[in-house]
Amino acid sequence: MQTTAEQQWTELRVSDDARDDAEELRRRLAVDGYLFFKRLQDPDRLRALRREMLTVMQGGGWLVKGTDPMDGIADLDARCTEGDVEYTTVYHEVYKLESFHRIAHEPEILGMVERILGRPAMPHPQKIARLWFPQYTEHTTPAHQDFVHFQGNFQTLTCWAPVGDCPRELGGLAMLAGSHRTEKVLDHHFSLGAGALDVEMGKEERKRAWHSTDYECGDTLIFPPLTIHKALPNVTEDRLRVSLDNRYQAIGDPIAEHMLLPHLNIFNELTWEDVYRDWESEDLQYYWRKLENPVVPRDMSYLDRGFEEAVEQAKAGDPHARHYLARFVKRDPESEQARAAARVLEGDD
């Protein structure tokens, strides 16, 4: 058992010994609710991507001027997170990198997913990076099940990997081992942290142990959409945490419509055309259009309920809820939710 000021956790179980054994991989996934591999992905390729991503972030003013982008030394005055206009602006520049999309298609990761699923698979078009500032811990990703965000089907797998080393203080992912065994989507509630939804843990969940590790570049976690997980807080003095969490599904299974769009495009309508503008090759552009996956509508009820809770909490003066609502107003003042948020923040409601 490892202890930091805020967390207690057990080391993640490493499944390197079972890499080629599909049956054993599925058995472990059924027990633990995750699979963890050391250096499943090529660390050099991830380091090259790290340089590219952080160079864009430096250009966007997120890193201390004159520092090596590889060090990821954040300018604390630039702190922002998902939902903030300032975050989307720089994030979407990172999002245009061809290499950031391509890395999700490498055989080392896609092959592993196919072995686990036992079917041909594809990465979701919506790739995701997390660019998490230090000294900003109230925005840490709370405990949740991915299904509330990504939906589609229950076989989808999330693959989380840091882009660079990610020791505990940088705030890597922690898994609630075995928590997928509840076999249902649990209630989630408003939280300020990334994703804005915090799972309501039942008696069974509270008995379970958190598993995490000091991640090294290339290490990869794979888990299904009901496993509860969260990020540890980035308690470093000045380092950005950079990670990928891409999703994979068997070809032919349903996919939720928003997973066909660029991540966070609801905030500024970034299109695939925008993303592809400077790409050198076309093979990964619109690749999913050649594959048959039934598209199902996005279920907004989880986030809508969180919004309603934030409204109630903001009325009672909760600073996190007020901060959350203020983002809606800043982002798109004419939207229905922004108007409701403004009324609450101005005290007219």
Ligand X SMILES: O=C(O)CCC(=O)C(=O)O
Question: Under the rule (CB under 6 A), what is the footprint of ligand X?
Answer: 130, 141, 146, 158, 160, 173, 194, 229, 231, 243, 245
Cα 129 to Cα 148: distance, rounded to the nearest angstrom:
18
Using CB distances below 5 to 8 A depending on partner kind, what does residue 174 bind out of Fe ion, ligand X, none?
A: none
Q: Which residue, 245 or 341, has its beta carbon nearer to ligand X?
A: 245
Q: Which amino acid makes up residue 123?
A: P
Query: What is the end-to-end Cα distance of the chain in Å, rounded?
Result: 48
Using CB distances below 5 to 8 A depending on partner kind, what does residue 243 bind out of Fe ion, ligand X, none?
A: ligand X
Q: Which helix (H) or strand (E) holds 35?
A: strand 35-37
Using CB distances below 5 to 8 A depending on partner kind, what does residue 160 bind out of ligand X, Fe ion, none?
A: ligand X
Farthest-apart Cα atoms in the chain, separation = 61
**What residues contact residue 59 under an 8 Å CB cut-off, 6+ apart?**
93
- What stretches of 60-120 show up as alpha helix (H) in DSSP? 85-95, 98-102, 107-117
Cα 278 to Cα 227: distance, rounded to the nearest angstrom:
37
Q: Which residue, 150 or 267, has its beta carbon nearer to Fe ion?
A: 150
Q: Which stretch binds Fe ion (CB under 5 A): 26-34, 37-45, 138-146, 292-300?
A: 138-146
**How is residue 192 written in tokens?**
């300020």
Q: Which residue, 95 or 329, has its beta carbon nearer to ligand X?
A: 95
Nearest to 150 by CA among 52, 255, 28: 255
* Helix, coil or strand: residue 246: strand
| Nearest distance in Å: CB 149, Fe ion | 7
Taking CB under 5 A as the criterion, the residue among 32, 146, 198, 309 binding Fe ion is 146
| Nearest distance in Å: CB 129, ligand X | 9
Looking up tokens 């592809």 gives 276
**How is residue 171 written in tokens?**
């705030």
Q: Which stretch binds Fe ion (CB under 5 A): 72-80, 111-119, 141-149, 179-187?
A: 141-149
Q: How many residues bind Fe ion (CB under 5 A)?
A: 1
Q: Which helix (H) or strand (E) holds 51?
A: helix 43-59
Residue 63 DSSP code: B
Q: Which residue, 46 or 173, has its beta carbon nearer to ligand X?
A: 173
Using CB distances below 5 to 8 A depending on partner kind, what does residue 182 bind out of Fe ion, ligand X, none?
A: none
Q: Which stretch binds Fe ion (CB under 5 A): 85-93, 139-147, 197-205, 263-271?
A: 139-147
Q: Which residue, 22 or 201, has its beta carbon nearer to ligand X?
A: 201
Q: Which residue, 177 or 231, has its beta carbon nearer to ligand X?
A: 231
Burial class (CB in 10 A: 0-12, 13-18, 19+), 5: exposed
Does residue 114 interact with Fe ion by CB under 5 A? no
| Nearest distance in Å: CB 144, Fe ion | 6
Does residue 82 interact with Fe ion by CB under 5 A? no
Rg (CA), the chain: 20
| Nearest distance in Å: CB 110, Fe ion | 20
| Nearest distance in Å: CB 176, ligand X | 12
Q: Binding residues for Fe ion, per CB under 5 A?
A: 146
